[in-house]
Amino acid sequence: MVSFKELGLVNTREMFAKAINGGYAIPAFNFNNMEQLQAIVKACAETKSPVILQVSKGARNYANQTLLRYMAQGAVEYAKELGWEKPQICLHLDHGDSLELCKSCVDFGFSSVMIDASHLPYEENIALTKQVVEYAHAHDVTVEAELGVLAGVEDEVSAEVSHYTKPEEVIDFATRTGCDSLAISIGTSHGAYKFTPEQCTVDPETGRLVPPPLAFDILDAIMEQLPGFPIVLHGSSSVPQEYVDIINANGGKMPNAVGIPEEQLRKAAKSAVCKINIDSDSRLAFTAAVRKVFNDKPGEFDPRKYCGPARDEMEKLYTHKICEVLGSNGKA
């Protein structure tokens, strides 16, 4: 058993309170390898942005839980080395699916966990979330819960269609579970194919797909029910078309990949939405950079020569998200 405090991590309580009052959102970036972590820490240290490092169940299996814990601890030390005196770094379990998994993460030094029981019937979602909250809060670990269902596929989480969060349920849910933040469904979606071409319109000038707008009316209704309560948006990658183009021009095949336009996320970040999850965009940045090296220099076989450029590209992306979309720069 190790407390997150021993690792130099923080939970989300203060981060979210400041973000809601300040009209910005905390970036929640997923990681599962060293280069991603280096890029996240460097971008956040340089912009002085608080950050949530997210690990999904799949990433935990991929990287090994022991190694992950020391990577998170290493992230804090690396941030200090980069001149960030008091790093505001949270280690968060993304889409925990059982009490056992959440408990194990709390015991391994996570400072925040998500219990995603949104696929269960309402009362069962409440019961499971409440159990996780009881265990986590006893260790000062914060808990994110989810109401409503996001469409899309990412790691083990997938759903064919989305179900928007019902604003009339949020007070009851938050009160009875005691959760610290709530992930909602208002039209964001997991993965790099967030909408089918049929759901989109086409920009006549560029020929690109234009996705349907987020349901800000539902967000407003939720905020009216729960004023000042931290809201989380999952599946909020923008799927930058320049990366998709590089991937497709260098041997990849990602037709019709489409994400959430950044101006919509910018608008959400100013509201009670205080955590915005971005995973697919860094996967795209990494893949685009690696494919380009492979295509340009087919003789290259030193992983540093393609993982290095991938790391640089991800750092650029993270910095852009922090400064131009979420507004969390200078807040830590």
| Catalytic positions, written as ranges | 94
**44 and 79 Cβ atoms separated by less than 8 Å:** yes
Give least dist CB 180 to Zn ion, A.
17
Nearer to Zn ion, 109 or 148 (CB): 148
Give least dist CB 290 to Zn ion, A.
24
Q: Give dist(CA 249, CA 294) in Å, integer.
A: 12
Give least dist CB 259 to Zn ion, A.
14
Listed ranges 192-200, 229-237, 254-262, 292-300: which one lies at the site for Zn ion (CB under 5 A): 229-237
Nearer to Zn ion, 97 or 315 (CB): 97
Nearer to Zn ion, 57 or 234 (CB): 234
Site string for Zn ion, 104-123 (x = CB under 5 A): --------------------
Nearer to Zn ion, 76 or 147 (CB): 147
User: Contact between 234 and Zn ion (CB under 5 A)?
Assistant: yes
Q: Cα torsion for 329, 52, 275, 309, to the nearest 10°?
A: 70
Q: Give dist(CA 168, CA 271) in Å, integer.
A: 19
As a whole number of Å, the CA-based R_g of the chain is 19
Q: Give dist(CA 48, CA 46) in Å, integer.
A: 6
Nearer to Zn ion, 231 or 246 (CB): 231
C-alpha closest to that of 295 among 242, 244, 250, 241: 250
Give least dist CB 144 to Zn ion, A.
10
User: Contact between 69 and Zn ion (CB under 5 A)?
Assistant: no
Residue showing the smallest CB distance to Zn ion in the complex: 234
Which residues does residue 115 pair with via DSSP β-bridges, in sequence order?
96, 145
Nearer to Zn ion, 307 or 325 (CB): 325
Listed ranges 39-47, 219-227, 230-238, 313-321: which one lies at the site for Zn ion (CB under 5 A): 230-238
Listed ranges 20-28, 215-223, 227-235, 323-331: which one lies at the site for Zn ion (CB under 5 A): 227-235
Burial 124-161 (b: 16+ CB within 10 A, else e): ebbebbbbbbebbbebebbbbbbbbbbbbebbebebee
Q: Which residues contact 267 (CB under 8 A, 6 or more apart)?
A: 216
Give least dist CB 116 to Zn ion, A.
7
Give least dist CB 48 to Zn ion, A.
26
Number of residues that bind Zn ion (CB under 5 A): 1
What secondary structure does DSSP assign to 231-253, as a single string?
EEE-S-----HHHHHHHHHTT--
Give least dist CB 235 to Zn ion, A.
6
**Tokens describing residue 231:** 């809201």
Listed ranges 64-72, 217-225, 234-242, 324-332: which one lies at the site for Zn ion (CB under 5 A): 234-242
Q: Give dist(CA 165, CA 139) in Å, integer.
A: 29
Q: Which residues contact 114 (CB under 8 A, 6 or more apart)?
A: 92, 93, 94, 95, 96, 143, 144, 145, 146, 183
For Cα atoms 20, 24, 28, give the angle at the middle one, nearest 5 degrees. 100
Nearer to Zn ion, 105 or 246 (CB): 105
Question: Which residues here bind Zn ion, judged by CB under 5 A?
Answer: 234
